[in-house]
Chains A and B, each alone.
Chain A
Amino acid sequence: MSDVPPNEVTVTINGTEFEARPGEMLIAAADRAGVHIPRFCYHERMSSVGMCRMCLVDVDTGRGPMLQPSCMVPVAEGMVVDTQSEDTKRAQEGILEFLLVNHPLDCPVCDKGGECPLQDQTMAYGPGESRFVEEKRHYEKPIPVSDLVHLDRERCILCDRCTRFADEIAGDPLIQFTERGNSTQILTFPDEPFSSYFSGNTVQICPVGALTAAPYRFKARPWDLEQVESTCTTCAVGCRVGVESSRNQLVRYLGVDVESVNHGWLCDKGRFDYEAVNSGDRLVTPLIRDNHDENQLLGTDWGSALARAAEAIEQAGPQRVGIIGGSRLTNEDAYAWAKLARSIIGTDNVDAQLGDGLPADLVLGLPTATIADACEADTVLIVGPDLKEELPILHLRLRVAATKGQTRIVEIGSIATGTEPHAQRSIRCRSGEAAKTLVALLESDDPLADQLRDGSVVAVLGRASMAESATPALEVASVIRDRLPHATFLPALRRGNVRGALDMGLAPGILPGRTTIDDPSEPLMNLWQTLPEKAGLDTTAMLQAAAVGQLDTLILLGADPLRDFPDRNLAVEGFRHVKTVIAIDNFVTESVSHADVVMPSTAYGEQGGTTTNIEGRVSRLAQKITPPGSTRDDWMIAAELAWRLGGDLGIGSREEIWCEIEQVAPSHAGVTIERICGPDAHEGILIQGSSVKPTLPTPQEPPVVDGYGLRLVSGRKLWDAGTGISHSPSLRDLAEEPTLKVHPGDLQRLGVSSGTAVRVISTRTTETLLAVADDTILRGTAVLPFNQPGGGANRFIDATALVNDIRIETL
């Protein structure tokens, strides 16, 4: 990073001179000098507290050697440090003997045993035996502090890591030191669990076995686990993870510290959704619609499934085939499918986004920012989804940067978000009116307008609500381009490798390497030979075409439009009128259950390749386990289909695909397979160039809500009825039932009391929902989470409308 101070303070550590940075703590300098000082409480991503005293070393600043905690002492010129002196050794022995006084030494039954800093450092630095013969402290063990985390207070050494994390990093100080002296213990408030979206991190940083993760408890011993470094694809942030497995089952993900993305942290959804990969519900064999019984999907072999799929594609003809989805795929898979669609099938009807994102030309064409840029910008302007719910680690990075004063967050939106407590300003506006609000702000004499105009700005832009079309977000982009031309953008997109899928051309009119179909690169033309003549349809247009019988074959690449497309009615109509639905997926989702041909694909951890995060950072995925049943990689399915359609994709492995991408995709030129696999891979390779020019609309006035109506706002929650969560036993009960949240004043006006069932009427449907009063909701607005178990907001939404209004009636 740019603000790292120069190495200019000379300290001598164990007789060797080292140039440290001014202000750096001694323990950090020693780490960089390659001298390990044992520690429990110190963590490089959190503030130093000097709780455990394990890092005591002999420090001489001219007054003779003195024992000092190296995590609390900044380096000073001429400092002489001895980490191996007799005094240091005696101190270490003493501290360890002391820390073990109340430690139960139940290592044989402890999850941490084998990777436990207390165990390891006791072996390395401990006295060998204890003089303590008295009764140890006893507590009930373990107690759940949340649905996912268990606490064993007997094992706890009170290092303050988990509580510091909860307070400083996550911003959810729900666990605390309570009592004092010998009774000091970590506790939550009674009946108020540690329900943080980031609680799993405390398990990872706990230096003893006091905090254990419910999904992992007693599942494996660390020495039986093998770890590979990979990238999380649960959301589009792309955190680095260590993937661990035992007996061909994924058993744990651990956050890996990379400076550019996640700083070692993971959200609980990303950390624990490996359970879905191991799920017994996985699709492991191809399925085909029974000719005799329309309601039945029968198991079949790959040959029959592929033949049936190829037949349906051929019969439809290029203009009547549509491909929806692809953001679950790796870059290589996405490329294979983009190539199959354009050069073999001959259609440009491809879209990786499900009508809930931003147009590809915008994502690829706007000047992009990195997460680090956002954390250092004078202002981060958020106009989009609640980042805490949808891109949790981006939220975490911005939150930490804002609380440290490195950046200031300004958000414009229609609902209270997880960002609000840390924002410099949260401007509420009615859904669909963000652009108007931004213009009003910039034209006012508010000092914030000057701050935005004069300082650096990173705009985090996305679709705040599924109940509004993409237009309001485009208008915001247009206003920012027009009035804040120095601003750079970070797209807040939905689903794992969505950015990679767009980069690889899984969007209408877009070709691999951030180029458009009107302007293909020469190497691409040489290899692909033919291209569709004009840009195709996006997901909404495809479903609309399908609904009126203009599309015959719909291919779903890990997409579930019936659940995830904002407008369920349109998706249902599309499915009803299309002749054949071909689904490639890991699970029988609702959409897959309507398919005529189902092909099982490999899941996360079962495939290698690369993925691209919202910044455009390409990082590696690692294969850790062998795929179940006869599942195949998505690129293989594309290659097989090509062959059956009389073509040849000319690819035989992921590596070959990447080499081809590097050749044909202008933006990816020079990102060779050697670089992808080389030392750069840890941080990922940032690709920022693009030749796509975004088309921006001129702002329109959204319709006025009539006196009876409420404007519907619908965002996603972290815990919802998504496929990954509903197949993860530890997570599936965390999603709340859907309730319609309305301002108490509006409820009163309508004569509805909070907590009662009401009839909700939209242009699409009339259904019964529970209405709850919430005074954080804007007057005239109703908030319904998008995809909660028991019914999603997609039933009420018309995807073709700019905004959606609903009415409420008492039953």
Chain B
Amino acid sequence: MKFFSEENLELAEIIIKRYPKPRSAMIPLLHLAQEQDGWISDDAMVEIAELVGTTSAEVLGTCSFYEMFKRRRVGKYVINVCTTMSCALMGAEELLEHAERRLGVKAGGTTADGMFTIEGAECQAACTEAPCLQVNYRHRYRVTPDQFDSIVDELSSTDHDVPDHGVLSQVRQHIPEDRFVGTVAPENVTSAPAWMHDQGSDQ
């Protein structure tokens, strides 16, 4: 069973070529897998292991280290409600409780229609804008329970620009062939990179 779609497999091969050692492409490929499905299945890890030439255990080790790689199916929109100090003082608990009531699932759960996952989260570095939450890691500031309802309504409609969970960026980086500098394995590096030599020039 192949996991990656044909298009993504092609992309995966390009990503692997960017690194001197295929194994270095493990995290970018995990992102790619999460982008494809919204979460990372065991099949995905097995295939990534094959692609980068390691064992699936190593991929699991890396994948499970990062909280934001989801190894369970999550909703199209993952809503993280901050529950750390500033937000807690400004009503985060009430907000989370409201969110749970509104979506009908407990924190950590996913709605039956697969649209929303709600999570309590640690500080999101927006203490001046408390209470805050993130929708697929995009900040929403000073969220009241009413505003939460309208966020849910907005996400339920099609009229918004939040991409599905797993999409890192709507614009994909592309390095044109002629600007690609090529890769050298660390043990084969014998001199400083070219740009270092240019530092003395009259730019």
Instruction: Judge whether A178 and B55 touch: CB under 8 Å.
Output: no
Task: Assess whether A3 is interfacial by the CB under 8 Å rule.
Answer: no
Task: Assess whether B40 is interfacial by the CB under 8 Å rule.
Answer: no
Residues of the A chain whose Cβ atoms lie less than 8 Å from the Cβ of B60: 176, 178, 187, 189
Task: Assess whether B183 is interfacial by the CB under 8 Å rule.
Answer: no
Interface of A is mostly: strand
Residues of the B chain whose Cβ atoms lie less than 8 Å from the Cβ of A192: 55-57
Instruction: Judge whether A173 and B55 touch: CB under 8 Å.
Output: yes
7 pairs across A/B with beta carbons < 8 Å?
A173-B57, A176-B58, A178-B64, A187-B57, A187-B60, A189-B42, A189-B55
Whether A174 touches B57, Cβ cut-off 8 Å, given contacts A189-B45, A190-B42, is: yes
Residues of the B chain whose Cβ atoms lie less than 8 Å from the Cβ of A187: 57, 60
- Which B50-79 residues sit within 8 Å CB-CB of chain A? 54-61, 64-67
Whether A173 touches B58, Cβ cut-off 8 Å, given contacts A179-B65, A180-B65, is: yes
The list of the 8 closest CB pairs from A to B, nearest first, reads A176-B61, A189-B56, A178-B64, A189-B57, A176-B57, A174-B57, A180-B65, A179-B64
Instruction: Judge whether A173 and B54 touch: CB under 8 Å.
Output: yes
Instruction: Judge whether A188 and B57 touch: CB under 8 Å.
Output: yes
Quick one: CB contact mask for A160-194 with B, threshold 8 Å, 1 for yes?
00000000000011111111100000011110100
Shortest Cβ distance from residue A92 to the other chain B in the assembled complex, whole angstroms: 29
Interface of B toward A, CB cutoff 8 Å: 42, 45-46, 54-61, 64-67
Whose C-beta in chain B lies nearest to the C-beta of A193? B57
Instruction: Judge whether A174 and B64 touch: CB under 8 Å.
Output: no
Residues of the A chain whose Cβ atoms lie less than 8 Å from the Cβ of B61: 176-178
Shortest Cβ distance from residue A422 to the other chain B in the assembled complex, whole angstroms: 13
- CA separation between A176 and B45, bound complex, in Å? 14
Known: A189-B59, A190-B42. 6 other contacts (CB 8 A): A173-B55, A174-B57, A177-B61, A180-B67, A189-B57, A192-B57
- CA separation between A192 and B61, bound complex, in Å? 13
- CA separation between A172 and B56, bound complex, in Å? 11
Residues of the B chain whose Cβ atoms lie less than 8 Å from the Cβ of A188: 57
- CA separation between A174 and B55, bound complex, in Å? 6
Shortest Cβ distance from residue B3 to the other chain A in the assembled complex, whole angstroms: 14
- CA separation between A187 and B61, bound complex, in Å? 8
- Which A555-590 residues sit within 8 Å CB-CB of chain B? none
- CA separation between A508 and B109, bound complex, in Å? 77
Residues of the B chain whose Cβ atoms lie less than 8 Å from the Cβ of A189: 42, 45-46, 55-57, 59-60
Residues of the A chain whose Cβ atoms lie less than 8 Å from the Cβ of B66: 180
Shortest Cβ distance from residue A531 to the other chain B in the assembled complex, whole angstroms: 57
Residues of the A chain whose Cβ atoms lie less than 8 Å from the Cβ of B42: 189-190
Residues of the B chain whose Cβ atoms lie less than 8 Å from the Cβ of A180: 64-67
Whose C-beta in chain A lies nearest to the C-beta of B64? A178
- CA separation between A174 and B59, bound complex, in Å? 10
Quick one: which of A172, A177, A187, A189 has the most chain B CB within 10 A? A189
Quick one: CB contact mask for A502-539 with B, threshold 8 Å, 1 for yes?
00000000000000000000000000000000000000
- CA separation between A672 and B55, bound complex, in Å? 50
Residues of the A chain whose Cβ atoms lie less than 8 Å from the Cβ of B46: 189
Whose C-beta in chain B lies nearest to the C-beta of A421? B53
Whose C-beta in chain A lies nearest to the C-beta of B60? A189
Shortest Cβ distance from residue A714 to the other chain B in the assembled complex, whole angstroms: 28
Residues of the B chain whose Cβ atoms lie less than 8 Å from the Cβ of A178: 60-61, 64-65
Residues of the B chain whose Cβ atoms lie less than 8 Å from the Cβ of A176: 57-58, 60-61
- CA separation between A525 and B64, bound complex, in Å? 72
Residues of the B chain whose Cβ atoms lie less than 8 Å from the Cβ of A175: 57
Shortest Cβ distance from residue B17 to the other chain A in the assembled complex, whole angstroms: 21
- CA separation between A290 and B140, bound complex, in Å? 92
- Which A407-426 residues sit within 8 Å CB-CB of chain B? none
Residues of the B chain whose Cβ atoms lie less than 8 Å from the Cβ of A173: 54-55, 57-58
Shortest Cβ distance from residue B54 to the other chain A in the assembled complex, whole angstroms: 7
- CA separation between A190 and B42, bound complex, in Å? 8
Whose C-beta in chain B lies nearest to the C-beta of A188? B57
Whose C-beta in chain B lies nearest to the C-beta of A183? B64
Shortest Cβ distance from residue B33 to the other chain A in the assembled complex, whole angstroms: 15
Residues of the A chain whose Cβ atoms lie less than 8 Å from the Cβ of B65: 177-180
- CA separation between A654 and B56, bound complex, in Å? 52
- CA separation between A23 and B76, bound complex, in Å? 54
Shortest Cβ distance from residue A190 to the other chain B in the assembled complex, whole angstroms: 6
- CA separation between A189 and B40, bound complex, in Å? 14
Shortest Cβ distance from residue A650 to the other chain B in the assembled complex, whole angstroms: 59
Residues of the B chain whose Cβ atoms lie less than 8 Å from the Cβ of A190: 42
Residues of the A chain whose Cβ atoms lie less than 8 Å from the Cβ of B56: 189, 192
Residues of the B chain whose Cβ atoms lie less than 8 Å from the Cβ of A174: 55, 57
- CA separation between A178 and B55, bound complex, in Å? 14
- CA separation between A51 and B73, bound complex, in Å? 33
- CA separation between A266 and B131, bound complex, in Å? 59
Quick one: which of A172, A187, A192 has the most chain B CB within 10 A? A192
Residues of the A chain whose Cβ atoms lie less than 8 Å from the Cβ of B64: 178-180
Whose C-beta in chain A lies nearest to the C-beta of B58? A173
- CA separation between A56 and B42, bound complex, in Å? 40
Shortest Cβ distance from residue A182 to the other chain B in the assembled complex, whole angstroms: 13
Whose C-beta in chain A lies nearest to the C-beta of B56? A189
- CA separation between A780 and B191, bound complex, in Å? 47
Residues of the A chain whose Cβ atoms lie less than 8 Å from the Cβ of B58: 173, 176
Shortest Cβ distance from residue B59 to the other chain A in the assembled complex, whole angstroms: 8
Quick one: CB contact mask for A642-662 with B, threshold 8 Å, 1 for yes?
000000000000000000000
Quick one: CB contact mask for A701-720 with B, threshold 8 Å, 1 for yes?
00000000000000000000
- CA separation between A190 and B57, bound complex, in Å? 8
- CA separation between A175 and B56, bound complex, in Å? 10
- CA separation between A173 and B58, bound complex, in Å? 7
- CA separation between A173 and B60, bound complex, in Å? 11
Whose C-beta in chain A lies nearest to the C-beta of B61? A176
Shortest Cβ distance from residue A227 to the other chain B in the assembled complex, whole angstroms: 33
Whose C-beta in chain B lies nearest to the C-beta of A178? B64
- CA separation between A140 and B39, bound complex, in Å? 26
- CA separation between A188 and B61, bound complex, in Å? 9
Residues of the A chain whose Cβ atoms lie less than 8 Å from the Cβ of B67: 180
- CA separation between A187 and B46, bound complex, in Å? 15
- CA separation between A190 and B55, bound complex, in Å? 12
- CA separation between A116 and B69, bound complex, in Å? 37
- CA separation between A192 and B57, bound complex, in Å? 8
- CA separation between A590 and B66, bound complex, in Å? 56
Shortest Cβ distance from residue B70 to the other chain A in the assembled complex, whole angstroms: 13
Quick one: CB contact mask for A175-218 with B, threshold 8 Å, 1 for yes?
11111100000011110100000000000000000000000000
Shortest Cβ distance from residue B22 to the other chain A in the assembled complex, whole angstroms: 13
Residues of the A chain whose Cβ atoms lie less than 8 Å from the Cβ of B59: 189
- CA separation between A80 and B95, bound complex, in Å? 58
Whose C-beta in chain B lies nearest to the C-beta of A405? B187
Shortest Cβ distance from residue B35 to the other chain A in the assembled complex, whole angstroms: 22
Whose C-beta in chain B lies nearest to the C-beta of A180? B65
Residues of the B chain whose Cβ atoms lie less than 8 Å from the Cβ of A177: 61, 65
Whose C-beta in chain A lies nearest to the C-beta of B63? A178
- CA separation between A180 and B61, bound complex, in Å? 9
- Which A143-160 residues sit within 8 Å CB-CB of chain B? none
- CA separation between A188 and B59, bound complex, in Å? 11
Shortest Cβ distance from residue B201 to the other chain A in the assembled complex, whole angstroms: 37
Whose C-beta in chain B lies nearest to the C-beta of A185? B64
- CA separation between A386 and B16, bound complex, in Å? 31
